[in-house]
Chain A
Amino acid sequence: MSNSVIDVAPHGRFGIEGQAVRPRRWGEQVIGVALFGCALVSILTTVGIVIVLVAEAAQFFREVSIWEFLTGTEWSPKLENKFGILPLLCGTLLVMAGAAVIALPIGLLSAIYLSEYASSSVREVVKPVLEVLAGIPSVVFGYLAIVTISPLVRTIFPSAGVFNAASASIVVGFMVLPMVVSLSEDILRAVPRSLREAAYALGATKLDVTVKVVVPAAISGIVAAFLLALSRAIGETMAVALAAGNRPTLTINPLDEVQTMTAYIVQVSQGDTPAGTLEYRTIFAVGLALFVTTMFLNVLAQWFVARVREKYE
C-alpha cells in the first residue's frame, strides 16, 4: 500500500490529512462516469415510474376523494362508479397471508435443514432444485392452480368456487418458497461459525444450537427475508389473476373469489379502456397503492437487515 498515489502526489484536488494528492487518471474518470451512467438508468427509471404514477393518480384523486378511495368498501369502477380500494386490498392481503402461512414455516424449516443439518452432498442437490422452482414462469403456476389445486381445494371444501383465494395463496406460497429458503439459508449460514462452536463446546445438542443460538442470532435477517418474500407475494400478478378470480370482494374467507390489486390492473390493461378516462386512471391509483404497500415492506426489511449488520460489526 505504501507505493500508492497518496505518497507521491505533488498537488491535487484531494488532500488527505494535509497531504496533496495527484488528480485521478483520465481512464479512471471515464470508467467512473460510465458506471455512474449505468446506475443512473435504474434511478431514472424508478423516478420516472414514480412521477407517472403520482401524476396520473393525482388526476384520479381530483375526481375521487382519497378518503373515499381508502375507506370505500365497494370497488366497481365501471358500473357503479364506486372506488373503494378495500376489497382489492383485502383480496391482496388475503392471498399474501395464505402464501405466508405456507411459505414462511416451510421455507424457514427448509433453510434450517439446509444450513444446519444437511450434509454438503444433500445441499448440492437441493439448492439447484430450488433454483428450478424459482425459475418456473408464474403463468405456469397460475395454470397449475386452476387445473390441479383449485379442484383439490373444492374436493376438500365443496363450498369453494372455481376461482378462490386459497388456490392462489397456495401457488403463490410455492412461488415465493425458494426465495424464503435461499435468503434465510444465506442468513443462517452468515451466523459466525465461532458462535456455533461456542455452543457445541458447552455440550449443546444440534437442536439447542439451532434454536437457542443460530436462529436468535439471525432473527432480524430472517424477518427481513420474510418481508421481502411477502412483498414479492403482493406483487405477484399472473398466478393470482388466473387463480383468485376477478370479482372484488371484501372478505376474509379464503374460499371466496377475490380480486387482488395486481389482477385488477391486468384486467383493465387488457380491456379496451380508453386512455384519459376515470377508469383508465384507476390503474394508476391502484398501482400507487400497490407501490406504497410493497415499498413499506421493503423499507421495513431494510431496517431489519441493518439491525443484523449492527450486531456483527
Chain B
Amino acid sequence: MMQETTIDRPIMPLRPTSFPRERPSRTADDLAGRPPKISVDHLNFYYGPKQALSDVTLMIPQHCVTALIGPSGCGKSTFLRCLNRMNDMIDNTRVEGEIILDGRSILGPKVDVVALRKRVGMVFQKSNPFPKSVFENVAYGPRVAGVRGKSVLYEIVEKSLVRAALWDEVKDRLNDSALQLSGGQQQRLCIARALATNPDVLLMDEPASALDPASTSRIEDLIFELRDRYTIVIVTHNMQQAARVSDQTAFFYQGELIEAGSTNELFTNPARKQTEDYITGRFG
C-alpha cells in the first residue's frame, strides 16, 4: 500500500512533460469516429449489500487503449472484471445494467461465459504463469479450446510469443519452467498466453505495477504495438502510464465514473474538478 501512495501522489508537472508523447495518442475525433467495441450502459455492481459501481456508462472504441484510473477501491478493477465476467467467480455478487460487446449483451445467465472469455483475454496485476513449461503456458488456452496437433500449437505459441515481444528471449527455453523467467518476462508470458486464444479485447489489470521501470517500459511499448490489432482496456494506478499509453481515459471515484474522454483532453483540460484534483496529485 505504501508503494501505491507514492506512485499516486507525485505533485507532478504532468501536463508540460507528458505531452507531446513519443507514441501518439489517438485524437478525440478519431475516437469518436470509431465503432464502439464495448458499450457499457448504466452498470451497477454489488458485493453483497455493498455497491461497488454506480450507474457507469462508458463506450470503449475499437482498436484503442482505454485506461481506467482512480484511487484504490474506486471500482476500476471491478469494472474491468465485469467485462469478462470474472466477477461471476465471487459469491454473492449482483450486476445490473447492460454491457454490449459487438452488438450483443454479455450479461445474463444465457451467455456462454467460456466463449466470452476466449474473446476477451485478461492479464493480471501479479504475473501468474502456471507451474508448467513456457510452451505449455501459452498452449493452455488453445488446448482447452480444442486445438490439437503439435505443429499447429507450436505455430500459435510462436506467434503469440512474438507478439508479446518475448520470443527472442525464450525461443531456446520453451521447455523450461515458466517460473524460471524474470518478473517482466513472466508478465509478457502472461500476455502471450492471453493472446494465444486470439481474443479481440485484452483486459489488463495493473499489468506493470509489480515490475521495474525497464520491464514497465517494455510492457508499455507492447501495449502500443498491440493497439492496432486488439481493443485494450487497462487499469492503472500510475497516471503517467495512463497518459503514456492510452487513447481514452476514464476516471473512477467511489464507484462512479466521474469523467471519460480522450486522454489528451482529460489530462490537459479535465472537465470536472475531482478529475483535475486527482491528476494533479491533490488527492489519491
> Is there contact, CB below 8 Å, between B130 and A217?
yes
**Other-chain residue from A194, A195, A205 in contact with B114 (beta carbon distance below 8 A):** A205
Q: Which residue of A120, A204, A216 has the most chain B CB atoms within 10 A of its CB atom?
A: A204
Across-interface contacts of A198 in B (CB, < 8 A): 124, 128-130, 190, 193
Contacts A195-B128, A195-B130 given; does A201 touch B140 at CB 8 Å: no
Bound-state Cα–Cα, A34 to B129, Å: 45
| Residue B26 interfacial (CB < 8 Å) | no
**Other-chain residue from B86, B114, B129 in contact with A204 (beta carbon distance below 8 A):** B114
Interface residues of A, dominant DSSP: helix
CB distance from A51 to the nearest CB of B (A): 43
How many of chain B's residues have a CB under 8 angstroms from any CB in A? 29
CB distance from A208 to the nearest CB of B (A): 4
Q: Which residue of A120, A192, A198 has the most chain B CB atoms within 10 A of its CB atom?
A: A198
| Residue A200 interfacial (CB < 8 Å) | yes
Q: Which residue of A195, A196, A201 has the most chain B CB atoms within 10 A of its CB atom?
A: A201
> Is there contact, CB below 8 Å, between B89 and A200?
yes
Which B88-131 residues have C-beta < 8 A from chain A?
89, 91, 114-118, 121-122, 124, 126, 128-131
Bound-state Cα–Cα, A197 to B196, Å: 16
Which A235-291 residues have C-beta < 8 A from chain B?
none
> Is there contact, CB below 8 Å, between B91 and A202?
no
| Residue B84 interfacial (CB < 8 Å) | yes
Contacts A203-B115, A205-B114 given; does A197 touch B89 at CB 8 Å: yes
**Other-chain residue from A120, A201, A212 in contact with B117 (beta carbon distance below 8 A):** A201
Which A108-136 residues have C-beta < 8 A from chain B?
119-120
| Residue B194 interfacial (CB < 8 Å) | yes
CB distance from A123 to the nearest CB of B (A): 11
| Residue A64 interfacial (CB < 8 Å) | no
CB distance from B198 to the nearest CB of A (A): 10
| Residue A213 interfacial (CB < 8 Å) | yes
| Residue A199 interfacial (CB < 8 Å) | yes
Residue of A nearest to B177 (CB): A311
Task: Enumerate 9 A-B pairs (CB-CB under 8 Å) in ascending A order.
Answer: A120-B91, A198-B124, A198-B128, A200-B89, A202-B121, A202-B140, A202-B141, A203-B116, A212-B144
CB distance from A311 to the nearest CB of B (A): 5
List residues of chain A with CB under 8 Å of any chain B CB. 119-120, 192, 194-205, 208, 212-213, 216-217, 311
> Is there contact, CB below 8 Å, between A202 and B118?
yes
List residues of chain B with CB under 8 Å of any chain A CB. 84, 86, 89, 91, 114-118, 121-122, 124, 126, 128-132, 140-141, 143-145, 179, 190, 193-194, 196-197
Across-interface contacts of B193 in A (CB, < 8 A): 198, 202
In the complex, besides A198-B129, A201-B84, A202-B118, 17 extra interface pairs with C-beta distance below 8 angstroms are A119-B91, A192-B128, A194-B124, A194-B128, A195-B128, A195-B130, A197-B124, A200-B117, A201-B122, A201-B194, A202-B121, A202-B140, A204-B144, A205-B144, A212-B140, A213-B140, A216-B131
CB distance from A163 to the nearest CB of B (A): 47
Across-interface contacts of B141 in A (CB, < 8 A): 202-204
> Is there contact, CB below 8 Å, between A202 and B144?
yes
> Is there contact, CB below 8 Å, between A197 and B86?
yes
> Is there contact, CB below 8 Å, between B86 and A199?
no
Residue of A nearest to B137 (CB): A198
Contacts A197-B89, A208-B144, A212-B140 given; does A202 touch B117 at CB 8 Å: yes
> Is there contact, CB below 8 Å, between B121 and A201?
yes
Bound-state Cα–Cα, A208 to B118, Å: 14
Across-interface contacts of B190 in A (CB, < 8 A): 198
CB distance from B161 to the nearest CB of A (A): 15
Across-interface contacts of A197 in B (CB, < 8 A): 86, 89, 122, 124, 128
> Is there contact, CB below 8 Å, between B91 and A203?
no
Bound-state Cα–Cα, A196 to B124, Å: 12
Q: Which residue of A119, A200, A203, A208 has the most chain B CB atoms within 10 A of its CB atom?
A: A203
> Is there contact, CB below 8 Å, between A203 and B131?
no
Bound-state Cα–Cα, A37 to B72, Å: 48
Bound-state Cα–Cα, A299 to B120, Å: 46
CB distance from B115 to the nearest CB of A (A): 7
Across-interface contacts of B116 in A (CB, < 8 A): 203
Bound-state Cα–Cα, A197 to B90, Å: 11
